């Protein structure tokens, strides 16, 4: 049996299993048992993507077989040529679906279904780095909008010329962290800044950190481990935002992590938001340690979460985006900056899957 045959066996099993689960979820016995209902609903949801891809794959398999037969048996020459063209297109689409099916069948990280806390900070490059950080924020929010995800801004620190020094936000939706987790690292931009009168290309950078949103049960934070300072907000505000001591700075003494939040008028809301980010950072530390251990001998190390590693270059003069971890170059920079990240993120997930399977 070939690997393609084994894949289709698994696909058929997933499609059948999801149909069985759908019937069980509608039964009075399961509805009356909340724990059982939750368990089956989780499994049913987990098979959704596999069932969608699998159903289309099996359908196109049948269409390909028919097209091949027609290309050999049809009496009309034009009809045979048309069938050959259809078969060629179907083979390309089936190859894509096979890759998606293998991805869907890969073991899932339990954190993949979490929301993601994303931190973007301007790096080297002065004002241009701040403008690029703002561009990245727009890129991710546009991507979230296209997928129907919700974005909640947690904290901002504005820069000059419309840029940002730092922006922290949470994205909620289906499989958000699993989709975006590989975006952590240094993003580099090469372009001519608006402030450059000589037309010279500058290189600037911004860092992105994608953290799984942590729940209280994930990370235990003892009150005695926290140093909490309150102070007056700075920057644009009004209506008590920067006239009262509403800003909050939380220091986690054991790790030295510091989180600040000042965007809300309420000190309590700022504290709650800061704790959300702190929990996620602590959980991410634990995940990053585990990933680094598993990736010690890997070649690409897609999933190490190393914030200092240059992962991607956005070259504006050549309309080129290159991901250095998987040596992938796409000449679609305007679309990518507008949130069209699906192709790029899919290739990264496939590379991560291969690493996990080989670890």
59 and 79 co-located in one domain:
yes
User: 328 and 270, same structural domain?
Assistant: no
Answer with the one of 83, 105, 127 that is the final residue of a domain: 105
Q: What is the CATH number of the domain that holds 249?
A: 3.30.160.20
**82 lies in the same domain as 231:** no
The reply to whether 138 and 183 lie within a common domain is: yes
In a domain, 161, yes or no: yes
Query: In the listed set 105, 138, 162, which residue is the last one of a domain according to the structure?
Result: 105
Q: Are residues 238 and 198 in the same domain?
A: no
Is position 187 within any domain? yes
Note whether residue 42 is domain-resident: yes
Starting at the edge strand found earlier in the chain, the sheet holding 247-252 runs 226-231, 247-252, 257-261
pLDDT of 237 reads: 46
| CA-wise closest residue to 339 among 132, 134, 147 | 147
Q: 55 is in which domain, residue-wise? A: 3-105
Q: Are residues 161 and 303 in the same domain?
A: yes
Is 169 inside any structural domain? yes
| Same structural domain, 229 and 212 | no
Domain boundary among 262, 290, 318: 290
Is 93 found in the same domain as 19?
yes
Is residue 261 a part of any domain in this protein?
yes
pLDDT digits (tens), the chain, 359 positions: 788 888 999 899 989 999 999 999 999 999 999 889 988 998 888 888 888 999 999 999 999 999 999 999 888 898 999 999 999 999 999 998 998 888 777 767 778 888 999 999 999 888 999 999 999 999 999 999 999 999 999 989 988 888 999 999 999 998 899 899 999 999 999 999 876 667 789 999 999 999 999 887 788 888 999 999 988 776 554 444 445 678 899 999 999 999 988 877 788 888 988 888 999 999 888 877 766 665 554 444 455 445 567 999 999 999 999 999 999 999 999 999 999 999 999 889 878 777 665 55
Q: Write down the pTM of the prediction.
A: 0.68
At 138 the pLDDT is 97
Check residue 299 and give its pLDDT.
44
Q: Is residue 110 part of a domain?
A: no
The CATH number for 323's domain is: 3.30.70.1660
Asked if 20 and 141 sit in the same domain, the reply is no
Considering the domain boundaries, does residue 331 fall inside one? yes
Q: How far is CA 254 from CA 122, 226, 258, 272, 348, in A?
A: 27, 9, 11, 20, 34
Q: How many domains does the chain have?
A: 3
| Residues 99, 130 within the same domain | no
Same domain, 243 and 101: no
Residue 111: inside a domain: no
Do 175 and 123 lie in one domain? The reply is yes
């Amino acid at each position: 049996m070939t690997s393609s045959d084994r894949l289709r066996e698994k696909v058929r099993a997933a499609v059948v299993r999801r149909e069985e689960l759908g019937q069980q979820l509608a039964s009075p016995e399961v509805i009356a048992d909340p724990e059982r209902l939750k368990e089956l609903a989780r499994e049913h949801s987990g098979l959704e993507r596999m069932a969608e891809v699998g159903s289309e794959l099996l359908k196109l398999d049948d269409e390909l077989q028919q097209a091949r037969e027609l290309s050999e048996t049809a009496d009309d020459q034009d009809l045979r040529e048309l069938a050959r063209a259809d078969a060629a297109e179907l083979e390309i689409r089936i190859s894509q679906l096979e890759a998606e099916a293998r991805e869907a069948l890969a073991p899932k990280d339990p954190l993949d279904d979490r929301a993601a806390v994303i931190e973007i900070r301007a790096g080297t490059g002065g004002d241009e780095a701040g403008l690029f950080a703002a561009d990245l924020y727009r890129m991710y929010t546009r991507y979230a909008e296209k997928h129907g995800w919700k974005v909640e801004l947690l904290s901002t620190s504005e820069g000059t010329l419309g840029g940002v020094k730092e922006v922290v936000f949470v994205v909620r939706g289906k499989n958000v962290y699993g989709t975006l987790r590989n975006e952590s690292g240094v993003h580099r931009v090469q372009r001519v800044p608006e402030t450059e009168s000589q037309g010279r290309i500058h290189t600037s950078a911004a860092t992105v950190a994608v953290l799984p949103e942590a729940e209280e049960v994930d990370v235990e934070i003892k009150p005695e481990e926290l140093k909490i300072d309150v102070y007056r907000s700075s920057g644009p505000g009004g209506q008590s935002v920067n006239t009262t001591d509403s800003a909050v700075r939380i220091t986690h003494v054991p790790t030295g992590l510091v989180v600040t939040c000042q965007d809300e008028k309420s000190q309590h809301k700022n504290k709650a938001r800061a704790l959300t980010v702190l929990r996620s950072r602590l959980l991410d530390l634990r995940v990053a340690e585990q990933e680094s251990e598993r990736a010690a001998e890997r070649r690409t190390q897609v999933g190490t979460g190393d914030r200092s590693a240059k992962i991607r270059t956005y070259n504006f003069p050549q309309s080129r985006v290159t991901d250095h971890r998987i040596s992938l170059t796409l000449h679609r920079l305007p679309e990518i900056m507008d949130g069209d990240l699906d192709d790029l993120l899919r290739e990264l997930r496939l590379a991560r899957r291969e690493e996990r399977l080989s670890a």
